[in-house]
Every structure is written in structure tokens, then in C-alpha cells.
Structure 1
Amino acid sequence: MSTVEEPDVRTWNFPRGTASVAVMVEFAREHGVPSERILAGTGLSGPQLADPDAQIPAETELAVVRNLLREVTGVPALGVEVGRRYRISTFGIFGYACVTSPTLREAISLALRYYRLGFAFCTPIVESRPREVVTWIHHDTIPADVQRFLAERDIVAMHRVMSDLLGARVDFTRAEFAYPATDQAERLEALFGIRPQFDRAHTVFGIDPDLLAQPLPQANQPTWAVCVAQCRDLLHRRSARTGIAAEVRDRLLPGSGATGFTAPPSFDALARTLNMSPRTLRRHLDAAGTSYRVLLDEVRQTLAEEMLTATPLSVDDIAIRLGYAEATPFIHAFKRWTGTTPAAYRRTVRE
């Protein structure tokens, strides 16, 4: 039997911090390229890169990547070398939440839950099987001119972070890439502990499932709880909605009908109420870095937390009011949003 976990959003087009850009600027500087050339056309400056609260559109980071590829030449396996520069500290409070997690499994689940606090452009789907944990790397929506660089950067960064979390190098059980081979195979083998395969149907890597249960060297339950709360607050602030996203979110709020609570509208019904086609609405939401699913989850999480905190409603009643047919899918969704069950959340906030 296998289980599948995926990020809270299936797009790379979300606002992000500047720490990733700072990594690439520093890498370029070490290779003789001044920061002005790497930041050309982005409107970014040095002080902004040091501001932990600064946010930039994903397209701005793509512009930095394109500048890096143009300006830094003669470096073999550029995506691999840049990916090796990403460490736990690069990710700020998000990174500290991962490093203080009880196990690698918990850290991976948290990383997927707060995916938008990272810098990846690839979408990782993690499938836990009895004999292997397989991570499917989706990079087909990334612009073609930067796709390979970002795929290699993101995978190497993931490998580096997992190794940092465990305090020892993680050897992959497989490493496959959905594009032609290059002269980077030996470098990747030295990093991953296995010879990579190219021209495969999918980009994917695997690890030993026993690694998931290993306690992390810096696990600390009280610190972890504080860091997770800060991640949740940070994500809420970054997710403040305006424009079409705000309008969609407002219309997803359940109302009271003649028979009581009414479920949120379907995507197609929502598009009709906004006088646009589903395709047009989807395009507008993509441009805003979000989706119907993400906005619906945000609304449901907010309402669920309010009802668990301020009402005596049972978990079954809350599930029905949020548009679920029964409690089980709501409990699974709530754990994906918050890392805990509705009952445990209610006990915590009332203590």
C-alpha cells in the first residue's frame, strides 16, 4: 500500500522571498559577475535581498535565473552547483521548522504543507511505498529556456536539505531525468550515490523508506511548535488576497440558505457567477499565483479553525458546514493544512 503527499499548491507562480535570489547573486559574484548584472531588469537592489520580509513575484526570480545563465559561463553543471548552495538556513523560519521536526517524515510533510514558503519551481509529489519513497518532480510548466537549470537546482537543493536534516549524506535509490543526458552524470553520481538515468519518461528520485522514521539530530518539540505557528502566520500574511483572488475567496465563503448552511459553489458555477468562462477564470487565478483549490482550502481552514475555537459544534457538524459529505475527508484535509487533527487542534487552543 502506498500513500501520496503533494504541495499545498500545484503552480510555481506564487510570491516568494528574496533569499533564493541572494544565493544566486552570491554565486555569480564568486565567479566574477557583479550583482548589478544578475539583477538587471528586476528592479531589485542589495538591501532588498537582505530583507527577510521582502516578497517578489516568481517571474522576477526567473529573470534572475536567465541573467545568471547568460552571465555565468564556463561553469559545468551550473544548476547542480547552484543547488548545492541551498542550506537549511536559506529558508529562514521555514527551515528551522523542518530541522526541529521529530523525523524526516514530519519534515517532508511540513515542507509540502508550507511549499509556498520555499523557492522551488518544480512540483514534488511524494509517494511512500513499502520498499521505496519516490518523489515525482513535475517541471513541465516551467519555461523551456530555464527548465533544466531549475530542475537540477531544485533536486540538488532538496537532496542537500535532506542530508542536512539527517546530519549525513542521503543516497538516492534512483535518479531519473526526463531529458537527454549531459556531461553532468558523474557529478550527479558523486552527490546522489547512484548513477543517474536520462531520457526517462519522468523526472523522479527515490530514497530508502527507513530514512523517514529516523529522529532528526536537532528535533525539539517546543521549538518545532513555535516555528510551525510562525510559518502558518507568515503564509497567511503572504496569502492576503486582492483582485480576482479576493473576489473568488469571498464567493467561496459558505452562506445560510433556506435549509441551513450551503456548500461552496463548484468551479464552473463560480465562473458563471463572475460572468466568465472556466478557462478565463483559471487563467486569471494562475496569473494571481493561486487556484480554486488553494482558495477553497484557505476558506475552509479559516472557518474550521474559527468553529473549533469558538463553537461547541462536533467535528461531524463542522465537516458538513464546510461542504464535506462526512468527517473523514475533512479530518484528512485539516491535518494536511495544519499538521494536526481537528480534535487535537481544539484541545490545544482551549488549554
Structure 2
Amino acid sequence: MSERSLPSPGVTGWEFPRSAAGVRHLAGWAERAGLPVEPLLVGTGLVHDDLDRVGTVTAAQELQVARALARRAPHAAADVGRRYTAESFGVMGWAMRSSATVGDAVDVALRFIDLSFAFVIPVARLEGDQVVADLDAGALPADVRRWLLVRDTAAVATVLESLVPGGVGVVTSVEGDVATLAFSVAELDRPLVRDRGADRAAAEAACLGLADQHRDLPSTTADVRVLVAQRVRDGAPMGQVAAALGMTERTLRRRLAAEGTGYREVVDEVRSGLAARLLAVGLPVADVASRLGYAEPAALTHAHRRWTGEAPSRRRPRR
């Protein structure tokens, strides 16, 4: 255990674009609490009827929603945080759930923290026989600082505890603008009960691709890329992806066309990106083909030649 290390968070600041699912989570909590949603959106340029159609929001927009909710429900931060699950975070949650151990899941969460809805970025370290994570909210606006600190601390603790039966025994404390979470370092080696067919390599490759590109992608295209990556082993049927987005295939085609692309193009982009990463780590061509939803390696070879002009075998590392 002495040789173990924890990664630095993938970002240090909170001003990164986010999935609109973060705003939908806050709005959903408000609705369940009997609070009107529209007042939460004042000043964001968003309207309630559009929330399900918005793919990405700015950090400032989500911050404004959080600020409005904090004013109306000042004591609700911990409860809001406890409503998050790993699955709330889309592709990052998929990668966490596909991890072999708690330590692997923590590694994913830290490296891809910008795929979450966090405003207070956790910084983790090993301290004796404890894993200790500090959350410093000092850089956030004073009027919402404490609320977000309590919310994010509760969210991190809840997701950690959900990874294994019985939890990992997280102990939290909040003092001033800083919160601390701690649990035994031995918990990092506990195996996760993974979903059948969980594929950590594909999940992490999807995280890398999204982290590299999500800031530059139009909203619908970004959402489709995530959903395609999750379903690529099964061929990523367009009907399933459209249904996951709450729209018809026709609407999805129209949205993608307005963003200058098409569904097959997005599937190709996801497959080519995943293929490059999976081949780069040395996976056999047949395994890569299976993970990308091709019935035969020959289909991957044909597609790969179309993408790159060469056979996939040439992209595997030489030994």
C-alpha cells in the first residue's frame, strides 16, 4: 500500500462547461420539494420547458440555479447532495461502475472530475492508513459557498458509500470554507460488484475522448457521443439513443443536422476514437472489434481503413 498514489484532479477550478443534467438535478429536487422551478432559472437564459432539450450549460448558469435554490432552501444542501449517484454523472459514472475496485473508481472520479457537476474540487491524499480528501470552497462566491460545500461533500460521500455493500465508512467534517472526507486506505482494494458486460477500458476511453472534446462540441452532438459510447458494443441503435434523449429519431436527425453532423458520423467518430485508444493500449483487433459492436474483425478493418487509410493492426504498439 505504501507505493500507492492518488491522482491530482483533472481540473483545479470550477468554471468548466457541464452537462445540463446538473441543472435538471437541481430542478428535479425543487419540484419534489414543492418549489416552483421557473424562479430558479431567472438570469440563466434557460426556461423550464427547455431543460430537457439543453445538452450543456455554462458553470455560471448552473451556479445561478444553485444560488437561487440555496436562497429558497438554505438547509437543503446535504439532502440535494445525497440524491446524486454515480449514474448521475453519465460517462464518468459509467467508468466508475465499470472499475474493478474502489481505488480504480476513485482514480476515475479524480481524473475526470470535470465530467461531474462539482463546484468544490476534491483533492485527495494518503495520510497514514487513511485516504483524506479536502474540499476547499474558498474560490466560490461567498453567498453560495457554504451551500455548495455542504452539497458537494454530501454528494462525494454518498457516491463513495454506494460503490460497495456496506459502504467504505466515510467520515466527513465541515469547518468554515473547507470540508474533509476520510476513510480507511484498505477500502481502496475492495472489489466493486460490476454490471454484467462492464468494460472499464471502453469506459475510460470514452471519458478521455469526452474530456478532450466536450468543450468544443455542440450540445446534442456531445450528448449523442456519450450515449453512443455507452451502447457501442451493441451497435448503438439510433432508436435507443434518441429515446434516451427523450426525442424521436426524426428529431434527433434534425438536431444533429443543425449542428453540422449526422448520426452515422457521430457513431463513426466515437468508434474511431475508441479504436485508437484501445489499439494503443495493445488490445487485440478482434477484442477491439467486439467492443465496438462489429460482428467480425473484418468489419473493423474495413472501417479503420476508411478512417485512417491503414489496417488497425498497424496502430497496435510494437513489442
TM-score bin, normalised by smaller chain: 0.5 to 0.7
Partner residue, 2:203: 227
- SS of equivalent to 1:120: coil
Partner residue, 1:175: 172
Q: Tell me how far apart the structure 1 counterparts of residues 116 and 109 of structure 2 sit (CA, whole Å).
A: 8
Shift of 1:18: 1.1
Distance change >3 Å, CA 57–CA 148, structure 1 → 2: same
The answer (yes or no) to whether the contact 1:3–1:129 under 8 Å persists in 2 is no
Q: Tell me how far apart the structure 2 counterparts of residues 80 and 222 of structure 1 sit (CA, whole Å).
A: 31
The answer (yes or no) to whether the contact 1:101–1:220 under 8 Å persists in 2 is no
Partner residue, 1:184: none
Partner residue, 2:102: 104
Distance change >3 Å, CA 89–CA 61, structure 1 → 2: same
Q: Tell me how far apart the structure 1 counterparts of residues 216 and 70 of structure 2 sit (CA, whole Å).
A: 33
Distance change >3 Å, CA 168–CA 8, structure 1 → 2: same
Partner residue, 1:38: 40
The answer (yes or no) to whether the contact 2:41–2:48 under 8 Å persists in 1 is no
- SS of equivalent to 1:5: coil
Supply the AA of the counterpart residue of 1:165: L
Q: 1 or 2 for the larger relative contact order (CA 8 Å, sep ≥6)?
A: 1
Q: Tell me how far apart the structure 2 counterparts of residues 348 and 37 of structure 1 sit (CA, whole Å).
A: 56
Supply the AA of the counterpart residue of 1:140: G
The equivalences for 1:80-95 within 5 A come to: 80-95=78-93
Partner residue, 1:268: none
- SS of equivalent to 1:21: helix
The equivalences for 1:159-174 within 5 A come to: 159-172=157-170, 174=171
Deviations 1:299-350 (A, max 9, x none): xxxxxx99x96xxxxxxxxxxxxxxxxxxxxxxxxxxxxxxxxxxxxx9951
TM-score scaled by length of structure 1: 0.58
Distance change >3 Å, CA 211–CA 38, structure 1 → 2: same
Deviations 1:173-193 (A, max 9, x none): x4332229xxxxxxxxxxxxx
Q: Tell me how far apart the structure 2 counterparts of residues 226 and 47 of structure 1 sit (CA, whole Å).
A: 34
The answer (yes or no) to whether the contact 2:6–2:107 under 8 Å persists in 1 is no
Partner residue, 1:60: 61
The answer (yes or no) to whether the contact 2:7–2:111 under 8 Å persists in 1 is no
The answer (yes or no) to whether the contact 1:48–1:54 under 8 Å persists in 2 is no
Q: Tell me how far apart the structure 2 counterparts of residues 206 and 160 of structure 1 sit (CA, whole Å).
A: 13
Shift of 1:46: 3.9
TM-score scaled by length of structure 2: 0.64
Match of 1:121 among 119, 135, 154: 119
Distance change >3 Å, CA 130–CA 219, structure 1 → 2: farther
The equivalences for 1:64-75 within 5 A come to: 64-72=65-73
Distance change >3 Å, CA 159–CA 348, structure 1 → 2: farther
Tell me whether 3-12 or 120-129 shows the greater mean CA deviation.
3-12
Deviations 1:64-85 (A, max 9, x none): 0111122336xxx311011011
1:138 maps to 2:136 = yes
Q: Tell me how far apart the structure 2 counterparts of residues 349 and 215 of structure 1 sit (CA, whole Å).
A: 32
Shift of 1:114: 0.9
Shift of 1:13: 0.7
Deviations 1:65-116 (A, max 9, x none): 111122336xxx3110110111122111211110110111111111111111
Supply the AA of the counterpart residue of 2:176: Y
4+ residue runs over 4 A deviation: 219-222
Distance change >3 Å, CA 348–CA 13, structure 1 → 2: farther
1:217 maps to 2:193 = yes
Q: Tell me how far apart the structure 2 counterparts of residues 207 and 30 of structure 1 sit (CA, whole Å).
A: 32
The equivalences for 1:260-271 within 5 A come to: none
- SS of equivalent to 2:172: strand
Q: Which sections of structure 1, spanning at least 5 residues, go unmatched?
A: 181-201, 242-304, 310-346
Partner residue, 1:256: none
Partner residue, 1:259: none
Shift of 1:168: 2.7
Partner residue, 2:21: 19
Q: Tell me how far apart the structure 1 counterparts of residues 99 and 191 of structure 2 sit (CA, whole Å).
A: 8
Task: Give aligned-pair identity as a percent.
Answer: 30
Q: Which sections of structure 2, spanning at least 5 residues, go unmatched?
A: 218-275, 281-312
Q: Tell me how far apart the structure 1 counterparts of residues 314 and 38 of structure 2 sit (CA, whole Å).
A: 49
Between the two proteins, the alignment pairs up a number of residues equal to 226
Q: Tell me how far apart the structure 1 counterparts of residues 181 and 35 of structure 2 sit (CA, whole Å).
A: 33
The equivalences for 1:180-219 within 5 A come to: 202-218=178-194
The answer (yes or no) to whether the contact 1:37–1:71 under 8 Å persists in 2 is no
Q: Tell me how far apart the structure 2 counterparts of residues 349 and 115 of structure 1 sit (CA, whole Å).
A: 29
The answer (yes or no) to whether the contact 1:83–1:157 under 8 Å persists in 2 is yes
